[in-house]
Amino acid sequence: MKITYNEAEKCVEIKDGLKNHFLLMKALMILNLANSILNLSDVRMDNFRFINLVWAILGAISILVLYNFIIKKTAAEKLPIDQIKGLNERSFMGRKKYFIELKNGKRRDLLEVKSESEFKELKRMFIKIGIQL
């Protein structure tokens, strides 16, 4: 687990490479959205085909994914403790995923926390530094 508390800056530092992953995903979704807009730019309703429907669906999915990455999630590596609301978990298809919930409504996924024991250790660290869970 690469999650530490920096006492000098009063922040939690997470080193898991999520920032690079988010940058790559955002770039791919923007490219996908631009491609779908270009493919749909000269289509008339009387000439609407199945492939145009596919491009419209891909564009809509790209918009939803971009909304999720920009508005709902964060990839910050340093989280000030006064911005942290709590530590949560969710179960998706039988696997538990852990995340930090921030006061501004965003979530920071914890990719390095894979087991219940690591989650309990992280909870102890948060309680020790004064974050109410």
CA distance 53 to 42: 14
13 assigned to some structural domain: no
Give the tokens for residue 109: 């996924």
Q: In which band, very low, low, confident or very high, does the pLDDT at 132 lie, cut at 50, 70 and 90?
A: confident
Quick one: 94 and 53 in the same domain? no
Choose between 92 and 133: higher pLDDT. 92
For 72, counting Cβ atoms within 10 Å of its Cβ (0-12 exposed, 13-18 middle, 19+ buried), the class is exposed
Are 97 and 72 in a shared domain?
A: no
How high is the pLDDT of residue 92?
82
pLDDT band at 7 (very low <50, low <70, confident <90, very high): confident
pLDDT for the residue numbered 16: 87
Q: Do residue 56 and residue 92 come from a single domain?
A: no
Above 60 in pLDDT, residue 1? no
Q: Which two tokens stand for residue 118?
A: 């690591």
Q: Identify the domain containing residue 48 by its residue range.
A: 18-76
pLDDT digits (tens, 9 = 90+) for 20-41: 999 999 999 999 999 999 999 8
Residues 121 and 98 in one domain: yes
Together in a domain, 70 and 28: yes
